[in-house]
Chains A and B, each alone.
Chain A
């Protein structure tokens, strides 16, 4: 996932500028002293300067983006694995309150293991046993209110 330092640096310049711009409407303290805006402005400014330097150094060193890797992404099984992780966590966030931890947690683990070539039966058993154990430890012993969803336990 390598990107050229020139681009990375430029990204930080932009981020710094955005942070600075975001503070323009902030209120000031008595007698016009800067208040809430002081630190974000310093940080944004420094970020832009550092980013600029990284960009310059990258340009001089002819640092380039690994374009081949980027273009081949959709064919890379490892990349799909990473996407499954992302999708799993996202699905968890949006569905767990409806389905409950016992179902959603087991589904996420199962999908991931299945994708990582664990035999499906084994994956299903491990997912259910492990997830129930986690639920018992966190929800029952530590009293973390894991969402119950459609279940009651």
Chain B
């Protein structure tokens, strides 16, 4: 192992590769920070370039770019309440609330450091335990996936909403949106009203931009005369107070790093899902659960660590069994094949240096994330000094172009607008919007795995509890779900929930 790492380091220190890493860092930061451009899209955009690249350079570009993008998604989430990538959606409201309280520096500092730490943890786990973890991941069937997604859904009801009922309604709305389109059991088109674009469902990236971003623009417009709440962000001191915060939540970082990596290892579950589940778990064990959704730095520590640690985990099943861990590694598998490399156990024997070079590049990327991230935060914060009326107009244009770019479809711009109006009315009436996004992310996983399980077992419900792993997850999920129900069950019905 040591000699492989040494060989990898030698391979990586050519000036050409260092230049590639630098360029891809900048590219990744840009893509992540612009709403609508996702890490997956950035990886796909790199594909034509990889035709002409060395295999190592191609893989290292994707590693660097995706790590930077997932971090950079936190920046617009904190500054203007638009998650740059879906992986930042879970704690967008918390970040933005803290920014409004004048704590933008702390949020951004915590974002960059936890992202780097999560990424490093993931890389170390990838180095030491990839084949073993892949074996475990392959024992997961639809029963286990169902429970895992159900556990993630509990994040919503736990979001410290003013009214759990209203949060529940928002979740139901999100879940309903996720049922739009061709159904998995019979290929039947549901709620599409004959519109071709809806056959694949409501795309959740334009929806997310609309629910968070456009609704915020509308609220800014409709609150008399552009008194924007964001106080000027000084990015000089982004690392002040970060050390204490991280020390306070050191257990959270360790826990979420492990959790994120493992969720990454599971095929099909990516960084966005890791962030939501870490958020739910964080709330479950928090001493201040009432702060969640209203500006909890703890939630940012947890979910911010988990989504970056997940990235390394995603490579495990891709390298070991050629099964993609998420949409980025699905592209990686394609690139590997194109370069004449076959993912699978053989790659560890035939190309150990290459595999280790991927590991080491994860470490390099996550170390570089701190200085590069610092610069990115500085650049984006200066943009906030632009007068608000100009800034709002520019942000609207980014929302439009970002929604369009996902599928190159104007229909999605319409989706964004509709969701913006919906989000505005929901929030004006005390209904949080984050659960809608959660429902759209996890809804398909819950439904598909439930239906698949039922068809497989010929409608035998007991199998959800009799398989060992499923049983453990079931107990965990049900306990987590019951936490907020307890007080509701025992509270007298005499008093309506107060409203903000």
Contact = CB atoms under 8 A, between A and B. Distances in A.
B290 interface: no
A43 B179 CA distance: 10
Interface stretch (B65-73, B218-226, B295-303): B218-226
A69 to B, nearest CB: 10
Kindly name the residue among B191, B390, B392 whose own CB sees the greatest number of chain A CB atoms within 10 A. Answer: B390
Interface residues of B, number: 61
A130 to B, nearest CB: 6
Contacts of B214: 85, 89
Interface string B184-225: 011010110000000000000000000000100110011111
B243 interface: no
A79 to B, nearest CB: 6
B396 A77 contact: no
Contact of B400 (A51, A53, A63, A89): A89
B183 A12 contact: no
Nearest to B450: A39
A131 to B, nearest CB: 7
Given A36-B185, A97-B410, A112-B393, A146 B401 contact: yes
Interface in A77-131: 77-79, 81-82, 84-86, 88-90, 92-93, 96-97, 105, 108-109, 112-113, 116-118, 126-127, 130-131
Interface residues of A, number: 66
B318 to A, nearest CB: 25
B214 to A, nearest CB: 8
Contacts of A26: 188, 190
B169 interface: yes
| Interface of chain A, main secondary structure | helix
Contacts of A77: 224-225
A92 B455 contact: no
22 contacts: A23-B190, A33-B454, A35-B183, A36-B185, A36-B188, A39-B175, A46-B168, A50-B169, A57-B497, A81-B222, A82-B222, A89-B400, A89-B413, A92-B400, A105-B400, A105-B401, A108-B397, A109-B397, A112-B396, A118-B387, A130-B394, A144-B404
Interface of A: 1-3, 5, 8, 12, 19, 22-23, 26-27, 29, 33, 35-36, 38-40, 43-44, 46-47, 50-51, 53-54, 57-58, 60-61, 63, 76-79, 81-82, 84-86, 88-90, 92-93, 96-97, 105, 108-109, 112-113, 116-118, 126-127, 130-131, 134, 138, 142-146
